[in-house]
Amino acid sequence: MRLDDYRVVFAAVGLIGLLLIATPTLSAFLQLPSGEKFSELWVLGPGRMAEGYPFNVEAGQNYTVYVGVGNHMASSVYYVLYVKFRNQTEPLPNSTDGTPSPLPPLYEYRAIIPDGEVWEASLTFSFPHVSRFENECLVEALAINDVTFAVDKPAMWDVNGTGYYYQLFLELWIYSLESESFQFHNRFVGIWLNMTG
């Protein structure tokens, strides 16, 4: 090998060494593209599986499901999970324009979840006061985790589905540092309930 060949090898090795040493410093200044940022939201049945959800419910009985949130937002996030209750005619959140349901939240969970982590809690609910008259059912109160709320939700008999249908649903909200407030995160999930018992 000639002397010029050794210079090229030494220059290449020196440049590679310099890049290896400078990489941690460069990473502080360069923003490399990251993966998709998202949050997960789920409701699981009493066995913590996606099955066995309560459907045909009766007044005075307790029912338990599990709610959970997974954080994949590349940083810790402060979440609020609102529990809402509706009859068939009341609005759900609008996924197209990203607006929450206008129904008031009855119960809430709050959690700060680190990136890559999940949070889960039980949600036990019952209907202490339900009345029926002719072809109408009125859920007067709903208890969530031993806290009772007056809801006064009527439902008409659904001849196609043969029942009085309600939905217990959850909306995911996220704390925004820019606005210093919680904003709807365009995630919601729910379970249908048939109040025929």
Q: Looking at residue 159, what is its pLDDT?
A: 83
What's 103's DSSP letter? S
Instruction: Tell me the pLDDT of the chain averaged across its residues.
Output: 90
> What's the token pair of residue 129?
């006061």
Phi first, then psi: give them for residue 139, nearest 5 degrees: -85, 110
Amino acid symbol at 192: W
Q: Express each pLDDT in 114-153 by its tens digit.
A: 999 999 999 999 999 999 998 999 999 999 999 999 999 9
Amino acid symbol at 9: V
Work out the number of other CB atoms within 10 angstroms of the CB of residue 170: 24
Average pLDDT, integer, range 14-34:
60
| Gap between the Cα atoms of 153 and 48, Å rounded | 29
pTM over 0.85: no
What's 20's DSSP letter? H
Q: Express each pLDDT in 59-71 by its tens digit.
A: 999 999 999 999 9
Work out the number of other CB atoms within 10 angstroms of the CB of residue 121: 12
Work out the number of other CB atoms within 10 angstroms of the CB of residue 87: 18
How do strand 63-72 and strand 118-133 relate by DSSP bridges? antiparallel
Least confident residue range of 33-47, 87-101, 120-134, 166-180:
33-47
Nearest to 124 by CA among 109, 107, 152, 146: 146
Cα first-last separation, the chain = 92
Q: How far is CA 6 from CA 10, 11, 13, 18, in A?
A: 6, 8, 10, 18
Looking at the DSSP bridge assignments, the partners of residue 93 are: none
Nearest to 167 by CA among 179, 176, 180, 158: 158
Nearest to 174 by CA among 65, 70, 36: 70
